[in-house]
Amino acid sequence: MDILKHGISPFSTNLSRTALKQMIHLVRDLQLLCEHPAYPSTLNKLAPIAHFNQSHFSVLMGYDFHITEDNQAKLIEVNTNAGGLWFTNQSYCPNIHQFSTKLAKRLLATFLNEYRLFKKNKSAVPRLVAIIDQDPQNQFLYPEMQLFMQLFKQAGINCIIIDPSEIEAKASQLYFKKQLIDLVYNRHCDFYFSSPEMSAIYNAWQNQTTCITPNPRIYGLLADKQRMADWHQSDILENLLPAKIAYRLHKALPKTHLFSDLNHEDLWSQRKKWVFKPLNSYASRGVYIGAKLTKNKFNSFNTQETLIQELIKPSTTLSPDGEKFKTDFRLFTYRDQILALSARIYQGQVTNLRTPNGGFSRVNLT
């Protein structure tokens, strides 16, 4: 197998059960916050989306962590269309050709639950699922999408993988070649459905004529990078959650600010303590470690669109011959349910799937 091509590391990583427990607590604590009825009203900048009435949630979320030297789990990012679950499954079971039986059953249940919540019918089953992404056949994770298509078809549910341009809209409903689409599994990285190619999907979501998951509301409540700053700087957690949970969340969250909220010169002098992230990016695109910044690059940042996050150094994984890899950890989830645990090992500034012998890695609990 071509490890570099497939994004799977031949090495395993270690994680303490204590750190895993902290990670699981954070997932469940943030989901509790997300489902608190008063939480959306605290997010004024996202009022049109945060207040949107929706009865379901978001499949396949991902929570990414670094583990500190004193064994504390720190949240780095939340994702609403987390990729790499197929690589994760293969890192534990190298010779499988589809999701393992247990994982497949749990995955299918999350999609069915989303659809049944949407339909308000405990026995509803979608007839046609559309997995959508921009030019999906040329996406790095297209093989993973094919595995999801196989998962649905084995359950007797028709499934297609298409670009949004292939969708036809009629009366706010979505069709593919005259077939009504019941559920959209959204892999597209236009998280707020704001681009022209996503307009039909946005309209269907606004009118709640199609079950679309993940969706802009959950992205806005949990995964928009602005939320990390909101949780750190405001009293949202203290006002809405029990004191013990608010304290636990603050402990797991790195200090996070908008660039525009900090003094420009002070930030430059202290840049080595920070990571600089575009608010609207994904897959570590446009992320800079402060120590690597030039003054020209620093001055080029849009201060209203750049997030400043406390640098939490990743832990280290050693290969059998002593080669060092930086390591982060991901929990794949549905609401407060943990679906899978993976590590990603890499070299360089930020997480990537380009490091030889790097990629998604099996985790050994210690």
Report the distance separating Cα 238 and Cα 66, nearest Å.
24
- Token pair, residue 207, equals 């009118």
Judge if 365 and 268 occupy the same domain. Answer: no
pLDDT score of 81? 87
Instruction: Specify if 50 maps to a domain.
Output: yes
Instruction: Specify if 193 maps to a domain.
Output: no
Domain count, the chain: 2
Closest CA to 352 of 302, 285, 290: 285
Judge if 10 and 69 occupy the same domain. Answer: yes
In this predicted model, which residue has the larger pLDDT, 351 or 108?
108
pLDDT tens digits for 29-48? 999 999 998 998 888 666 45
Report the distance separating Cα 84 and Cα 257, nearest Å.
29
Which one of 311, 339, 356 terminates a domain? 311
Residue span of the structural domain in which 247 resides: 1-96+225-254+313-366
Judge if 333 and 352 occupy the same domain. Answer: yes
Judge if 263 and 249 occupy the same domain. Answer: no
Q: What mean pLDDT comes out for the span 18-35?
A: 96
Judge if 360 and 264 occupy the same domain. Answer: no
Which one of 290, 311, 332 terminates a domain? 311
Instruction: Specify if 140 maps to a domain.
Output: no
Judge if 247 and 274 occupy the same domain. Answer: no
Instruction: Specify if 210 maps to a domain.
Output: no
Judge if 12 and 86 occupy the same domain. Answer: yes
Closest CA to 76 of 286, 311, 340: 311
Judge if 33 and 91 occupy the same domain. Answer: yes
**Residue 55 predicted with pLDDT over 60:** yes
pLDDT score of 50? 60
Report the distance separating Cα 155 and Cα 172, nearest Å.
27
pLDDT score of 41? 84
pLDDT band for position 52 (50/70/90)? confident
CA dihedral 96, 85, 55, 204 (to 10 degrees): -100
Report the distance separating Cα 80 and Cα 227, nearest Å.
13
Which parts of 282-325 fold into alpha helices (H)?
295-300
Across the strands, what pairs with 169?
A: 174
Strands 128-132, 158-162: pairing kind:
parallel
pLDDT band for position 4 (50/70/90)? very low
Closest CA to 181 of 119, 145, 128: 128
pLDDT score of 44? 65
Average pLDDT across the chain, whole number: 91
Judge if 63 and 8 occupy the same domain. Answer: yes
Q: What's the DSSP call for residue 80?
A: S
Strands 359-365, 337-346: pairing kind:
antiparallel
Tokens 């056949």 — which residue?
A: 137
pLDDT score of 2? 42
pLDDT score of 3? 38
Instruction: Specify if 102 maps to a domain.
Output: no
In this predicted model, which residue has the larger pLDDT, 24 or 307?
24
Please count the CA atoms within 13 angstroms of the CA of 92 that sit on its side-chain side.
Answer: 16
Instruction: Specify if 107 maps to a domain.
Output: no
Judge if 302 and 318 occupy the same domain. Answer: no
Instruction: Specify if 181 maps to a domain.
Output: no
Q: What does the angle CA 35 – CA 111 – CA 153 come to, to the nearest 5 degrees?
A: 175
Judge if 73 and 16 occupy the same domain. Answer: yes
Which one of 272, 294, 311 terminates a domain? 311
Judge if 296 and 343 occupy the same domain. Answer: no
Instruction: Specify if 269 maps to a domain.
Output: yes
